[in-house]
Structure 1
Amino acid sequence: MIAEIKKALAQGQFAESIKLAQNGIKTEQDVASQKELHYLLAVAFRLSGTPDKAISSNQQLIQQYPEHARCWQELGHCYVALNQPHDAAKHFYKATQLNPALLASWRYLESYYQQSQNSQALALARKQTQRLSALPKPILGARDLMYEGHLDTADKLCRQFLSQNKHHAEALTLLGEIGLQLKAYAEAEFVLESCVALYPDHYYAGLEYIKLLNQIGKFRQSLQTCDTLLQHYPQEKSFLLAKAGALLGIGDIQGSVTLYQALLAQDEQQPYINLLLGHALKADGQLQAAIAAYRTAWQIKPDFGDAYWSLANTKTYQFQDVELQAMTSLTRTDDTSTDDRIHLHFALGKAYEDKKQYPLAFEHFQKGNQLKQAQLNYDIASVERQVERQIAHCNSALFTNLPDVGCDDAAPIFIVGLPRAGSTLLEQILASHSQVEGTMELHNILSLVTRLRGNKNAYPDNLTQIDSGYYARFGEQYIQDTQVYRSNKPYFIDKMPNNFLHLGLIKLILPNAKVIDARRAPMDCCFSGYKQLFGEGQEFSYSLDTLARYYLAYEKLMAHWDEVLPGFVLRVQHEDVLDDLESQVRRILAFCNLPFEESCLRFYETERAIKTPSSEQVKQPINRKGQGIWRHYDSQLTALKAHFPQDNTLQEP
């Protein structure tokens, strides 16, 4: 059906195209096909000379799929047909924000900005138009597919082109970008590193490489690359921002702040840089200065949802009524982007919870989660399959047959668990000890998993097939790569919650490492995750049912590790820490073979950069502010409670 419509459109048979599309909409059951049919119907209406009908059709489609970039571009074409250049530019601009590979949109914007004498916007549009126009058609097509979310097809098309053009810079850059989106970090790093080595002054390859290095926590390497590229592009804002992020990553917060402030001194009307400055100041414990930076960001850009959410995410900021009214109004405005709307809903949820207006708070949390979930293509069943594979292949026989094959360094202390389960608190307690270095959520184990998984998803099945000598090398490489986050302390913390999936691998490569499982009562843990908008990852957290299934999968796998690796993991129940801090601290330190130190009880006095949502909470003495909050939402949490009928131990808040 879709092929027939496209053929009719190509032949100028617009009435036939409309008829076919309308019939298809009535009969087609597949959601993706329905989406395409509605889009083609709008195109056919416009080409048939009825742009008003096309606009109506497009607007209906956008209500269901607000991220449909081509739909926004099609609206731009409609307003061009109606001789409404401003409205056309507005919709073409929206299209480019969703899919930067839409050359037709950029071409119109270039012309529009030239006529309106907007020199700054014109320079950006011209740069994009020139770049996209110069791309080989297969690479432009693959880039378009990537932005539309068809990553596997884009990857295949890109590799086909590279088979005939082995060292094409733009193709290599795109392959690295696709790998980054697929979270195939090891392969993406290899591709982009190779591209930068071949083309050391390639702007886009360098930018993507730095972005990847910052994302996987290789901040020292990122800094070196930034400095190299800044020799070719002095004062280039993109590279200076990346350098500031890398400085923050290695703990040079003042260097990061200074760089952000220098960029703002050139032009203070930059909301995104004010936001980043706020993040750096918050990590440094300068909360009031951070709040001022966040407020400046939304004052410059009133619909900047991330600025409002960042204020809410300080966990201390109290919104004024006038701010709440403005935020609510923005969530109802068509011009507010989906991302901004998501951030606003989460911020409003937190604000109304603080005011104890729980039904209104839940309404906003629910809307924010629904919008976020619609953006993601998350499959909880894939995690459940991962857990089953770990249980099947990381069995007792594996560890019996591979005893002490790893690196014997005992420095790492892994803290695993679910987000919002108290892992940051445990990290802060341990980092308050004189012998322990607090680092960050390190990606090193996940990067190793990506390498072992390969293109054929061979991990963990292949753990018995790997030469046993490699396990020590993997462990040594881990110790070497994480050295950049450490000083001279004998122990350090790796607080990557998702490492719970890979404790079998950790045992093989680092048999003397310590693992602490931060556990929290399921209703508190899951609902706290549901209320949190995470910067990246944790895609399971935007649905109550998915959250519950993830928690149960985690619980099942941790029980397996207890069975096959007895004594390797120490479970620390968050509620026990609240009940008796000193006993739990002594228990944790004894497990880590560390002498007791009073400073661990005064963890809130320890000065260190913390980048997780719990940063302000762990700078206060132990309290129960977050315990049992879910009970205020009891009637709305039926789906969650159904999974945890036994979780009735908490007292009424």
Structure 2
Amino acid sequence: MKGYRMPDPQKPPAGQMNTLVKVFRSGEMARAIHICEKMLAAYPRAVVVMNILGAAYQAMGESEAAAKAFGRAVSLKPDYTEALVNRAISLTSLGRKDEAMRCYDQAIALQPQFAKAHHNKGLLLFERNDLPGAVASFQKAVAAKPDYLDSWNNMAIAQIMLGRFEAAGQSCDRAISLAPGRAELYNIRGMALNKLGRIQEALGDYQRAVQLKPDFAAAYTNMGSAYNDAKSHRTAVDALERALSLNPKTAEPWYNLGIARQGLEELKPALESYNRALQLKPDYASALSNRGTVLYELGLVEEAMDSYDKAIALDSSLAPAYNNRGNTRSNLGDREGAIRDFQAAIRLDPGLAAAHRGLSHIKTYASGDEHIRQMERLYESFSPDGRDRAHLCFGLAKAYDDTGNHDLCFKRLAEGNRLRKKHLDYRVESDLRRFEMIRQMANDPIVTNPAAENRADHRYIFIVGMPRSGTSLVEQILASHSQVYGAGELDTASDLLTPVVSKESKVSGDGTQRFAQAVALLRKGYEEGLSHRQFTETVVADKMPLNFRWTGFLLAAFPEAVIVHLERDPVAVCWSNYRHYFSGTGNGFAYDLTDLARYYKAYTDLMAFWRKRFPERIYDLNYERLTEDQEQETRKLLAFCGLDWEAGCLEFHRAQRAVRTASAAQVRRKMYQGSSQAWKTYEKAITPLILALGGCAASQDPV
């Protein structure tokens, strides 16, 4: 082989050596072995021939024979560094990795600038999960050989795994300068850039990777993940479906598709994606954790907890799993368990901003609390425009409110709301236009859809109003009744009807025809949506507050249904919205005081519109009156809903069921008064809201 020296005087003739090298390079390994053995019979100390013999055996997968041949060469020439490195490769194949490492160290001691020895040692250290050691070896390899492409490549991968993303990007830059047409390098650099939050640059690299290699499934997967990070979930779906069309038997694209579907609030497709990921990779802890959040949103609380528990059993260091379980425990009323889970998540990942916000929501702070200082330090470390900064703003605002630091509380609230609105890219005008389209569709006299004359499998009570108006409390009261199943906040109406009232609607016909078609879709969708849940009650309570938009549709779809409309002091309800971080994307109006006032006025106008058309089927329940005269108001509520009196409805706080809203903690307590006065502490700061609400007022008259 080129570059070898034969110090032994029994060196084979040059012609024989040239023939051997030619046969070896042609890939005729069996013939090369035969020639080597014949030459060694004549020249038993020909170490170069032994090295070639070992290489031929290794190429044929005969690592034991290869190791012996390399070993013979080294025993005759202990400073034969090439044979030492080759023997290490064979020993690694045999699982004798400690011996292999000693061979690399011997070669490096003899030849400190031997780049291949440093590179291969780095690979072995990488395999042993000694990532710092691997990076150090790769660095020595490129120091000895600056154009060692594979060392730059592998070093970048190890640096990403160590969280050294800047260094990884620099390693990739060097590698790409050496091989600008190699798609894998752009994919790796994209991973580093994405971790640095430079998402658009990362997407550019992924695009370049798939341009160079159109069937590069891993690059499409990473592209989808980056789009998810950018909250461009629809585009993420496209990239991930392309990845799956190329390689459907890999778990990662299914997992990322689940994230994208979940981001689009397409819960059933998200669940299916996570399930597919777990079929391919049953120990995929992150998929189990995310699957739990979807199951919880679907109302399958026990299954959700089981999924979190399995995730944590597989990976006890998975901070998001503890955070997700903490949220569920909080909503189940397990305050102490939730606190433990949030604290565990924070211990494992001190930068997990959502866990800090979750903990702040259920904890009462006193001055000097160490968690406040921890959040303050973290707040300063986050990007001023980042999503994590928004989580910390709401968490700190809660802590400052508890400790009486009201000025700083409002400052953080204002910042957090500004960031949240920006991240959602919310425009209140879109909602106002939708309200007008709804009125136009339903403006003609409404006739019950003939298809709805047959009774549904269940009788429905729709609890509507502004978010934070008391809908969770009323659902908890009703769900305490033996005949009522509390379904939580169902997205069914919004999922089915939002496309119908959009300008791009695929439902044909004029407004009245589209209304009739929407009603048919709605009835079918609700029954199918509940089919996967297990309950025996005959009455279903859906407490999605924003269903006020669809009141007419719901009542037309279900002639036996009623609407319970919660009214609350307008300033109180708007302030309560403003001070809460909503995990979903549907409450964008809550993050700006002017938007809140405009939305509230549009909401009251729309409810007045529905009330004129269905005066006998809408019950206006005043929240403040309910808290002041619990039993009387509860009796009137049950009577309107066609339910017999049950005293257990007064003990709603004892009910053991999940409440998947920001009001989860409140409904675990007995009825209390005064929450509608909380805004007065911040009256000066929210003066623009108060003035903008103007004459809006919740009904104070008995119903």
TM-score (normalised: structure 1): 0.68
Partner of 2:55: none
- Paired amino acid for 2:690: K
Q: Is the 8 A contact 2:285 2:314 kept in 1?
A: no
Q: Distance in 2 between matches of 1:432 and 1:329?
A: 44
Unaligned regions of 5+ residues in structure 2, if any? 1-131, 133-150, 177-181
The change in CA–CA distance for 1:412 and 1:195 in structure 2 (over 3 A counts) is: farther
Partner of 1:494: 542
Deviation at 1:500, TM superposition (A): 1.5
Q: Percent identity at matched positions?
A: 26
Q: Distance in 2 between matches of 1:233 and 1:553?
A: 49
Partner of 2:354: 306
Q: SS state of the match for residue 241, structure 1? A: helix
Partner of 1:424: 472
The change in CA–CA distance for 1:489 and 1:189 in structure 2 (over 3 A counts) is: farther
Q: Is the 8 A contact 1:421 1:518 kept in 2?
A: yes
1:565-595 residue CA offsets vs partner (Å, 9 max, x unmatched): 2223211111111121112212221221111
Deviation at 1:304, TM superposition (A): 2.7
The change in CA–CA distance for 1:503 and 1:182 in structure 2 (over 3 A counts) is: farther
Partner of 2:408: 360
Does residue 229 of the first structure (1) align with residue 277 of the second (2)? Answer: yes
- Paired amino acid for 2:455: D
Deviation at 1:287, TM superposition (A): 1.1
Does residue 541 of the first structure (1) align with residue 590 of the second (2)? Answer: yes
Q: Is the 8 A contact 1:449 1:459 kept in 2?
A: no
Selected match of 1:525 from 570, 573, 582: 573
Does residue 481 of the first structure (1) align with residue 529 of the second (2)? Answer: yes
Residues 38-187 of structure 1: matches in 2 within 5 Å? 111-114=155-158, 118=162, 133=183
Selected match of 2:607 from 538, 553, 558: 558
Selected match of 1:590 from 627, 633, 639: 639
1:580-636 residue CA offsets vs partner (Å, 9 max, x unmatched): 111221222122111111111111111101121111110111112422111111111
Partner of 1:622: 671
Q: SS state of the match for residue 464, structure 2? A: strand
Partner of 2:455: 408
Q: Distance in 1 between matches of 2:295 and 2:400?
A: 36
- Paired amino acid for 1:290: A
Which segment is superposed worse, 566-575 or 176-185? 176-185
Deviation at 1:519, TM superposition (A): 1.7
- Paired amino acid for 2:304: S
1:538-572 residue CA offsets vs partner (Å, 9 max, x unmatched): 11111111111111111110011011222232111
Residues 508-519 of structure 1: matches in 2 within 5 Å? 508-519=556-567
Q: Is the 8 A contact 2:225 2:236 kept in 1?
A: yes
Which segment is superposed worse, 194-203 or 449-458? 194-203
CA-based RMSD? 4.6
- Paired amino acid for 2:443: N
Instruction: Pick 1 or 2: higher relative contact order, CA cutoff 8 A, min separation 6.
Output: 1
Q: Is the 8 A contact 2:365 2:402 kept in 1?
A: no
- Paired amino acid for 2:535: S
Selected match of 2:293 from 236, 245, 248: 245
Deviation at 1:377, TM superposition (A): 1.7
Partner of 1:449: 497
- Paired amino acid for 1:556: D
Partner of 1:64: none
- Paired amino acid for 2:551: L
Which segment is superposed worse, 194-203 or 462-471? 194-203
- Paired amino acid for 1:291: I
- Paired amino acid for 1:207: Y
- Paired amino acid for 1:114: A
The change in CA–CA distance for 1:247 and 1:414 in structure 2 (over 3 A counts) is: same
Deviation at 1:499, TM superposition (A): 1.6
Which segment is superposed worse, 191-200 or 316-325? 191-200
The change in CA–CA distance for 1:450 and 1:302 in structure 2 (over 3 A counts) is: same
The change in CA–CA distance for 1:116 and 1:421 in structure 2 (over 3 A counts) is: closer
Deviation at 1:524, TM superposition (A): 0.4
Selected match of 2:340 from 292, 311, 321: 292
Q: SS state of the match for residue 684, structure 2? A: helix
Partner of 1:12: none
Q: Distance in 1 between matches of 2:698 and 2:293?
A: 43
Unaligned regions of 5+ residues in structure 1, if any? 1-85, 87-106
Q: Distance in 2 between matches of 1:471 and 1:535?
A: 29
Which segment is superposed worse, 416-425 or 301-310? 301-310
Selected match of 1:333 from 381, 384, 398: 381
Partner of 1:281: 329
The change in CA–CA distance for 1:202 and 1:630 in structure 2 (over 3 A counts) is: same
1:62-107 residue CA offsets vs partner (Å, 9 max, x unmatched): xxxxxxxxxxxxxxxxxxxxxxxx9xxxxxxxxxxxxxxxxxxxx9
Q: SS state of the match for residue 640, structure 1? A: helix
The change in CA–CA distance for 1:334 and 1:115 in structure 2 (over 3 A counts) is: closer
The change in CA–CA distance for 1:307 and 1:192 in structure 2 (over 3 A counts) is: closer
1:465-484 residue CA offsets vs partner (Å, 9 max, x unmatched): 34957744541332122222
- Paired amino acid for 1:369: N
1:262-303 residue CA offsets vs partner (Å, 9 max, x unmatched): 433444333222211211222332211110111222233333
The change in CA–CA distance for 1:232 and 1:628 in structure 2 (over 3 A counts) is: same
Does residue 370 of the first structure (1) align with residue 410 of the second (2)? Answer: no
Partner of 1:52: none
Q: SS state of the match for residue 394, structure 2? A: helix
Q: SS state of the match for residue 239, structure 1? A: helix
Q: Distance in 1 between matches of 2:595 and 2:378?
A: 29
1:82-136 residue CA offsets vs partner (Å, 9 max, x unmatched): xxxx9xxxxxxxxxxxxxxxxxxxx9997445368739989x9999x99x94899
- Paired amino acid for 1:408: R
Q: Distance in 1 between matches of 2:648 and 2:609?
A: 34
The change in CA–CA distance for 1:435 and 1:463 in structure 2 (over 3 A counts) is: farther
The change in CA–CA distance for 1:315 and 1:298 in structure 2 (over 3 A counts) is: closer
Q: Is the 8 A contact 1:404 1:511 kept in 2?
A: no
TM-score (normalised: structure 2): 0.64
Does residue 270 of the first structure (1) align with residue 314 of the second (2)? Answer: no
Deviation at 1:333, TM superposition (A): 3.1
- Paired amino acid for 1:417: G
Partner of 1:349: 397
Deviation at 1:191, TM superposition (A): 12
1:498-528 residue CA offsets vs partner (Å, 9 max, x unmatched): 2211222223322322211122111100011
1:335-361 residue CA offsets vs partner (Å, 9 max, x unmatched): 687222222221121112122332222
Q: SS state of the match for residue 387, structure 2? A: helix
Q: Is the 8 A contact 2:255 2:287 kept in 1?
A: yes
Q: Is the 8 A contact 1:428 1:603 kept in 2?
A: yes
Q: Distance in 1 between matches of 2:323 and 2:226?
A: 25
Partner of 1:575: 624
The change in CA–CA distance for 1:290 and 1:559 in structure 2 (over 3 A counts) is: same
